[in-house]
Amino acid sequence: MVSAMVSRSAVLGAVALSLLAVPAQAAPLKARAHPRTADALPAPDTAGLAATLRSVVAKGAPGAMARIDEGAKVYRTTQGVADRMSRRAITTADRFRVGSVTKTFSAVVLLQLVDEHRLALDAPVNRYLPGLLPDDRITVRHVLSHRSGLYDYTNDMFASSVSGFEAVRNKVFTYRQLLDLSLRKPRTNAPGAAYSYSNTNFVVAGMLIEKLTGHSVKAEYENRIVKPLGLTGTFYVHPDTRIPGQHANGYLTADRAGAQPVDATEQTVSWAQSAGAIISTTRDLNTFYSALAGGKLTSAARLADMERFTRVNSNTSYGLGLRRRDLSCGISVYGHTGAVQGYYTYAFTTKDGKRSLTAVANASNSSAVLNTLAETLEPAFCGKQRSARRVHTPLEREDVAPAAPREQ
C-alpha cells in the first residue's frame, strides 16, 4: 500500500521511512559543475539511502540514521540500535555529538562579528589576542580556512584511539593548554601557503569569540544561532559529560581487531570545545545549514567569504568552516563532516538551502563505516540519476586524529 505517509520501523536491521510536513532550507554553493537548485534536482532515492544505512550497520556501526528536509517534505530513514545494551532502535529524534560540524557554528559567530565591524578576516589573530601566536602573519581567514600552518595537537593526543580517548575522556582543558600542545611542534606550512586540517585553528576561533564578545562560546552559540533558529535539540554542555535527553550512545571501535567497542557516550569533549563539542539532532542541523545557505545568519558578503574554497581532493574543497562536496551527478553540496569518539556525521545542503541531509552513525574509528556513511550524499541529492559508472572517490579521513581510521 502506498500513501502520502509511509512509516516502517524495527530494531536491528529495520528501516524507518516517513514523509511528513515540516519546512526546511539549507546551505550555499559555488561548484565546478553547474549549480542547481533543489527544484531542479531529482527526487531523493529513499530506497538507496536506506540501503546505504543498512550497509553502514553491516560494516560495524550499531545504528545509523538520516533525515532529508526539503520544503514541506521530510524523509527519515533509520537502521539498527541507539544502545547496544538495551537494543533500543535508533531514531532521527535521538541527539548525538556532532564533532567538527561545530566548526561551522564557530565560523558563523566570527563572521557575524565581521558583519558587526568587530573583526577583520584579513587582520592578524595577534591583533585581537596579542602575542598568542608565534607569527603575526597568521590571519583570522587563515585560521578559519585551515591555512594557518598550526599543528593539529590531536595527532599526538589520539595516536592510539582508545587509550588516547580514555586519557582525556573526563579531563577539562583550557584553550591555552590545547594551543600550547600545538605550539610545541613545528608548523606544517607558512601562513596561507597550504591547506592542512587542524583542530588547533578552531581552538583559536573559540578564543577569538570569547575575547571579542566577553562571553563564553556556549552563550554566543545560544544567543546567535540556537535560540534565533529554534534549535531545541542543540546544546553545548562542556565540561559536563552527559548528553541531555533522548540520545544515541556512541561507540569507539577498538584499535585491536576483535575487541569490543568502547561506549564513548559520556565525555567532556574538552579536547575539542569550539572545534567539536556541540550536541544536536538531524532536524536541527538541517535547519542550521538551511538558514546559513538562505542568508539568515550572515550577510551575503560574509557568506561569499565562507564559499571561497581551497581544493582538498578530487571531490572536496574547504572554505571558512565550510566544506563543499562535488557529487557524481554534477552538483555540489555544502556543509561539514563530523568525527568525535563514538559518532560520525555528514550534514550538507544545496545552494538554495531547500534540500538538506544529515546522516549519522553511532560509531567511530572505522574507515569502513566512515566511507560507507559518505555514500549517503549520492542518493539524497542525486536520486536514482546518480552516475552509474564507477567514480573514483578519495578515502574519507577522520577530522579527529589518527587521520587514517582503523580498518575493522
Record the cell numbers describing residue 198, joined without a space.
587542524
**Residue 100: active-site member:** yes
Cell numbers 558583519 correspond to 115
The reply to whether omega before 130 is within 30° of 0 (cis) is: no
How far apart are the two ends of the chain, measured CA to CA in Å? 40
Record the cell numbers describing residue 12, joined without a space.
536491528
Rounded to 5 degrees, what angle do the CA atoms 219, 222, 224 make?
A: 100
Catalytic residue among 3, 9, 100, 314: 100
Structural contact between residues 79 and 50, judged by C-beta atoms closer than 8 angstroms: yes
Please give the Cα distance from 365 to 65 (Å, whole number).
Answer: 18
Which residues have a Cβ under 8 Å from the Cβ of 85 and sit 6 or more positions away? none
Please give the Cα distance from 16 to 71 (Å, whole number).
Answer: 20
Radius of gyration of the chain (CA): 20
Distance set, CA 116 to CA 40, 109, 120 (Å): 36, 11, 10
Which residues have a Cβ under 8 Å from the Cβ of 86 and sit 6 or more positions away? none
User: What single DSSP character describes residue 384?
Assistant: G
Distance set, CA 201 to CA 10, 141, 215, 400 (Å): 42, 10, 19, 13
Task: Please list the active-site residues.
Answer: 100
